[in-house]
Amino acid sequence: MNVKRLTFCALLTAIALTIFMVEAQIPLPAPIPGLKLGLANIVTVYAMFALGPRDTLLILISRVFLGSLFAGGSTLPYSMAGGLCCYLIMLLLRKLLTVKQLWVCGAVSSIFHNIGQVAMAIFITKTPSLILYLPFLLIPGIVAGTFTGLAAQFLLQRLGSRIKL
Amino acid sequence: MNIKSNKFWVIVIAAVLALCLVAVGIWTWWRNSQPEEEGLIAVVRLDGRIVAAVDLNKVTENYTQTFSGESGNSNTVEFAPGQVRVHDATCPDQICVSQGWADRTTLLPIACLPNSLIVEVAAAQDLGLDSISR
């Protein structure tokens, strides 16, 4: 990895982390654990299409790890499970979607983020009925995911050819 | 239909959304249509183990019990006739406290993920916990 690329990855991680911390200050509309806008996913979707899988994994893991460190509380396993599920489906979507379809990537990856989150919660607490949370997370998640994907799409379309690594 | 077309993805995403709405609808209907019966159990799970199972119909006066888990944090659960809530907690987000009272018709279990604490309310026969509650 050359210095320029490394710096760009670090910059994206810092941006994602900033978005994550600002988002954490927004009050939840409903007291549902795990419910959030997921704005930091803009960076992940953008990186997946602009930089490729390897750099995206580094950015994602750094952001999730540092984010849980800054936010406090032991929610790291949930965010990590969600993040990795989201990442795996993006590996597939990357091959299928064009740069004008990043909104799809946002929506679908948010679905898988929630699935990963809930699966980890069921595994840790050994409470199968937590699956009940899934539809309650997915409905707002898909809406928010579509918009974060769209944000990444606009970013990629405007920034695309100007970033040369 | 082409997997790369917008139409395909709109249908997939709309289908998942519709499925979720149906699931929420069915669950809401089911929770509200259950007959009131004896044996309304509040189950408290901490770090994956059941640490309390209380018959809420037998509670006559409110009382609290504090649960401390491996995370080092603790939640104080308040049991009342027919309902239960997390009264206070040492977790950073306090979502479990703001979830408020859970009773027979509440849709979601109370969950405090930072502390790995779950409070579920269900009819005794649905839980299969008869041996514990008696």
Average pLDDT over residues B89-96: 88
- Full set of structural domains in chain A with CATH: 3-162 (1.10.1760.20)
d(CA A20, CA B4): 31
Kindly indicate the confidence band of residue B127, based on its pLDDT and cuts at 50, 70 and 90: low
Interface of A with B in 74-133 (CB under 8 A): 74-75, 78, 96-98, 101, 104, 107-108, 111, 121, 124-127, 129-130, 132-133
What phi and psi, each to the nearest 5 degrees, are found at residue B35? -65, 145
Which residue from A135, A96, A137 is spatially nearest to B8, judged by alpha carbons? A96
For all residues of chain A together, what is the average pLDDT? Answer: 92
Count of CB atoms situated within 10 Å of the CB of A3? 7
Per-residue pLDDT at B92: 83
Kindly indicate the confidence band of residue A10, based on its pLDDT and cuts at 50, 70 and 90: very high
A15: pLDDT strictly greater than 60: yes
A150: pLDDT strictly greater than 90: yes
Per-residue pLDDT at B70: 83
Tokens describing residue A18: 């900033």
More confident residue, B34 or A38: A38
For A119-155, letters b (16+ CB in 10 Å) and e give bbbbebbebebbebbbbbbbbbbbebbbbbbbbbbeb
d(CA B49, CA A83): 27
The answer to whether the CB atoms of A142 and B49 lie below 8 A apart is no
Q: Give B25-45 pLDDT, tens digit per residue.
A: 999 999 888 777 777 899 999
B65: pLDDT strictly greater than 80: yes
The answer, yes or no, to whether ipTM is higher than 0.95 is no
Going from the C-alpha of B7 to that of each of B13, B20, B49, the distances in angstroms are 10, 20, 46
- In A, which residues are within 8 Å of B99 by CB distance? 31
Per-residue pLDDT at A18: 95
Per-residue pLDDT at A27: 84
